[in-house]
Chain A
């Protein structure tokens, strides 16, 4: 009994000391709690794993510049982004700001992103006309603005000058039309004794042109009739372009082309080091970010680049532009409790931090005002890519855009492997996407 009491005493005094201690230590934060910092939570796909300093740089710099706000950045891998966001929204606890792929159509249509119209109207520093029109187009959906743009990219044609010289072609003159491209591709292709390719002249579905839409647009094809709300994938002009791709498959063999591409695959299918960087292909349609990869992984390759990707005779220039954007997820607490802090960060990230990111990794600035700055303008590669943004064709404003693009990729594969005719493949896409659209009504 006595022992117990003794230990009780010890416990009591310990607890007492703890309470007093808590009170003393709690006094200081309690005093400053009146001007409690607004905490802005931010999820971004960017820093992992290649550019690790980015997330800490953003956090440190923003917090230094804005002592009254506390930014918390959480990096999330690209392909996990939506997996993380949707349950967070469903559970009522999403981040205050979320960085995601452009365009915003699907996020807006599915009710993941909040409209920002009021915030933009009330902020004299944020003017839609300060961004490239194509970029701003991508953050709007059905008359509302749902996001602020971040960086951009564009579509550029690359060619290997050494291979051009070897094949007796003028290394300063890339093909302008598809007919020339086909001819050059044939001349540049090298086969070995076993009949396998050592160098492939060109593959219409490699790299960034795995996206089919831009080939269709180049032939004046359309993919969506916004007035009728109809998907028009099987537009005869699109079919014509898919048949042109099938022509390559028939001539060069999709398996042999695939076998060559496999060589360039790093481990589990990542194509960071593309065929072009390894000297396995002579011409390639790539993203604007591609030159920095060539410089890094294929420093010996002497290449040229132009914003004029070959087009069919009578066709038009029509490239792809993507990038990322930031939006406020539905149900985010920050925008309700301290909208000023959230908006301050969004504006800073979209306008001030964006050019620094672009400079660091070779992406493009989304605002023309920066493109003339010496650090961008002095690099002819960046200049060419930036000009390519102006040749960009807008995406169809379809809620199921990713589904649509996935379907088109599959249609190209069906067609080149001879599983479906070009017409059938595109008709099937049309039907599937049309059906998918019903879900958004």
Chain B
């Protein structure tokens, strides 16, 4: 009897492995191996053609000590992330709250606010080059009509990054939709109880909605953190780093190093630094979540 069970277990295990083997093979070949290989190559000088040469930590040393563009690109990316992550969250939250109220044509509005996030990055880049055109763009037309100064967005190193933030916030319909889903999960009774206690709308948002949304917010923060550090396509299409390297984001520089100058080893080192940065930030977010994320369980 015992023998029989373990036999079927063996068969099950084998069959199970067989069924998941497409994933296992794909994952090992296309993710795991490259992942490990890039770590090795980050200690070499390698240009795709010819053998790689072991140079120890020289790539890392050059990045941290000698390469000014590395610092520039890191600064640009942090700048962008620091603006984009909070803005997209706040804007997404406001829109989600508004769209969660009982208004006519609610689903139409939801669709409208979600639409920008399904536009491909390239098309979006083309569009925003025009929207933020210094002379004829609609944004500057409005600013001028309001008597406000109209910046030369992508022609001015001080305004180019905010330009990207505005564009990305516009396209963060994903954030809004996830928050909306989170909002529908907030039990109605809680609001009713609060109303009986005389709470106004602000009280309800601060004391009920936000605490119950914290798991959703944590998820969004992590997703947007990863997304922000990977900004590439728009920057590659729209400005390619100009003006004066003010939009040379980390991934763009990584691409340039690897595929324009073919310094693959150097590029691998950059990729690993990016990985460590994003990992550390995401990890500390998780760690901190114990203090501010509420999962509906009673404490103690």
Task: Indicate whether A and B interact.
Answer: yes
Q: Which residues of A contact B (CB under 8 A)?
A: 82-83, 86-87, 89-90, 110-112, 196, 254-263, 265, 267-269, 330, 400, 402-403, 406, 410, 413-414, 416-417, 419, 428, 432, 435-436, 439
With A268-B125, A435-B66 as known contacts, state yes or no: A86 contacts B49, CB within 8 Å. Answer: yes
With A and B bound together, what is the CA distance between A258 and B156 in angstroms?
8
Is the CB–CB distance between A258 and B135 below 8 Å?
no
B141 lies within 8 A of chain A by Cβ: no
B260 contacts partner chain A, Cβ-Cβ < 8 Å:
yes
B87 at interface (Cβ–Cβ under 8 A)?
A: no
Check A262–B135 contact: CB distance below 8 A: yes
A92 to chain B, nearest CB (A): 11
B139 touches A (CB below 8 Å): no
A110 x B152 contact (CB < 8 A) = no
Do A413 and B245 touch (CB < 8 A)? yes
Question: How far apart sit A263 and B68, CA to CA, in the bound complex (Å)?
Answer: 32
Q: Is the CB of B260 within 8 A of A258?
A: no
Q: Are B126 and A268 in contact (CB under 8 A)?
A: yes
Q: Are A86 and B262 in contact (CB under 8 A)?
A: yes
Q: Quick check: A419 and B129 within 8 Å, CB to CB? A: no
Chain B: minimal CB distance from A340 (Å) = 26
A258 to B239, CA, bound (A): 12
Q: Pick the contact of B155 from A82, A112, A259, A402 — CB < 8 Å? A: A259
A268 to B262, CA, bound (A): 25
Q: Does B45 contact A (CB under 8 A)?
A: yes
B216 interface residue (CB < 8 Å to A): no
Q: Given A83-B259, A256-B152, A263-B133, decide whether A110 and B49 contact each other with a Cβ distance below 8 A.
A: yes
In the complex, besides A83-B259, A416-B244, 6 extra interface pairs with C-beta distance below 8 angstroms are: A86-B49, A90-B48, A260-B135, A267-B129, A269-B237, A439-B263
Q: Cβ of B259 and Cβ of A268 under 8 Å apart?
A: no
- The reply to whether the CB of B230 lies closer than 8 angstroms to some CB of chain A is no
Contact sample, A vs B, 11 pairs, CB 8 Å cutoff: A82-B260, A255-B152, A262-B135, A262-B155, A268-B237, A269-B237, A406-B260, A410-B244, A419-B244, A436-B261, A439-B45
Q: Mark B132-164, 1 if CB is under 8 A from A, else 0.
A: 011110000000000000001011110000000
Complex CA distance for A267 and B125, rounded to whole angstroms: 9
**B155 and A90 within 8 A (CB):** no
The reply on B50 being an interface residue by CB < 8 A is yes
A82-B262 contact in complex given A262-B134, A269-B129, C-beta closer than 8 Å: yes
Please determine whether B244 and A259 come into contact, CB atoms closer than 8 angstroms. Answer: no
Partner among B155, B260, B261 whose Cβ is within 8 Å of the Cβ of A254: B155
Q: Taking each of A258, A259, A410, A417, which has the highest tally of chain B beta carbons within 10 Å of its own beta carbon?
A: A259
B79-112 toward A: CB 8 Å interface, digit per residue (1/0)?
0000000000000000000000000000000000
Q: Is the CB of A268 within 8 A of B244?
A: no
Of B49, B152, B237, B240, most A-chain CB atoms within 10 Å: B49
Task: Known contacts A262-B154, A269-B237; decide if A402 and B260 are in contact (CB<8 Å).
Answer: yes
Whether B155 contacts A255 by the Cβ 8 Å rule is yes
A86 to B259, CA, bound (A): 10
Instruction: Write the nearest CB–CB distance from A415 to chain B, whole angstroms.
Output: 9
Q: Give Cα A403–Cα B263 distance, bound, in whole angstroms.
A: 11
- Answer yes or no: B238 CB below 8 A from chain A CBs: yes
Give the distance to chain B from A249, nearest Cβ to Cβ, in Å: 11
Question: Is there an interface contact between B125 and A417, defined as CB atoms closer than 8 Å?
Answer: no
Q: Which 7 A-B pairs have the closest CB atoms?
A: A258-B155, A259-B134, A255-B152, A413-B244, A86-B48, A417-B244, A255-B156
- Asked if B271 lies at the interface with its beta carbon under 8 angstroms from chain A, I say no
Cβ-defined partner of B240 (8 Å) among A82, A254, A265, A269: A269
B242 an interface residue at 8 Å Cβ cutoff?
yes
Q: Complex formed: what's the CA distance from A390 to B129 in Å?
A: 40
* B49 & A112 in contact (Cβ 8 Å cutoff): yes
Q: Does residue B119 face the partner (Cβ distance < 8 Å to A)?
A: no
Closest residue of A by beta carbon distance from B248: A410
User: A81 CA to B191 CA in the complex, in Å?
Assistant: 61
Q: How far is the CB of B184 from chain A (nearest CB, A)?
A: 39
> Are the CB atoms of B237 and A258 closer together than 8 Å?
no
- Could you tell me the distance between the alpha carbons of A219 and B259 in the complex, rounded to whole angstroms? 34
CA distance A169 to B71 in the complex (A): 48
Nearest B residue to A412 by beta-carbon distance? B244
Asked whether any CB of chain A lies closer than 8 Å to the CB of B47, the reply is yes
The answer to the question of B122 belonging to the interface, with a C-beta cut-off of 8 Å to chain A, is yes
A402→B68 CA distance, assembly (Å)? 18
- For A263, list chain B residues within 8 Å (CB): 133, 135-136
For chain B, residues 212 to 268, give those with C-beta under 8 angstroms from any C-beta of chain A: 237-245, 259-263
Chain B residues within an 8 Å CB radius of A402: 260-261
Residues of A with C-beta under 8 A to B241: 410
Which chain A residue has the least Cβ–Cβ distance from B261?
A: A403
B contact residues around A416 at 8 Å (CB): 244
Task: Report Cα–Cα, A82/B49, bound state, in Å.
Answer: 12
By beta carbon, the residue of chain A nearest B68 is A428
Task: Bits for B33-73, please: 1 = Cβ < 8 Å to A, else 0.
Answer: 00000000000010111100000000000100010100000
* Contact between B133 and A258, CB atoms less than 8 A apart: no
Q: How near does chain B come to A437, taking the closest CB pair, in angstroms? A: 12
> What is the CA–CA distance of A267 and B50 in the complex, to the nearest angstrom?
39
| A314 nearest CB across to chain B (Å) | 31
Asked if A196 and B157 sit within 8 Å, CB to CB, the answer is no
CA distance in complex: A175, B104 (Å):
67
Nearest A residue to B136 by beta-carbon distance?
A263
The answer to whether A267 touches B126 (Cβ under 8 A) is: yes
Contacting residue for A262 out of B50, B62, B133, B157, CB 8 A:
B133
Contact present for A196 and B135 (CB under 8 Å): yes
Chain A's nearest CB lies how many Å from the CB of B295?
45
B129 contacts A417, C-beta separation under 8 Å: no
Return the contact of B48 from the options A89, A256, A417 (Cβ within 8 A): A89
Tell whether, in the assembled complex, residue B49 and residue A259 are in contact, meaning their CB atoms are under 8 Å apart.
Answer: no
Please judge, given known A-B contacts A196-B135, A417-B157, whether A259 and B245 are in contact too, CB under 8 Å: no
Bound Cα distance from A414 to B262, whole angstroms: 25
A262 contacts across to B, CB distance below 8 A: 129, 133-135, 154-155
Measured between beta carbons, the chain A residues less than 8 angstroms from B157 are: 417, 419
Q: A436 to B48: give the CA distance in the assembly, Å.
A: 17
Q: Please give, as numbers and ranges, the residues of chain B lying within 8 Å of A89 by CB-CB distance.
A: 48-49
A268 contacts B129, C-beta separation under 8 Å: yes
Indicate if the CB atoms of B259 and A414 lie closer than 8 Å: no
State A330–B136 Cα separation when bound (angstroms).
50
Give the CA-CA distance A417 to B242 in the complex, in Å: 11
Nearest CB on A from B230, distance (A):
19
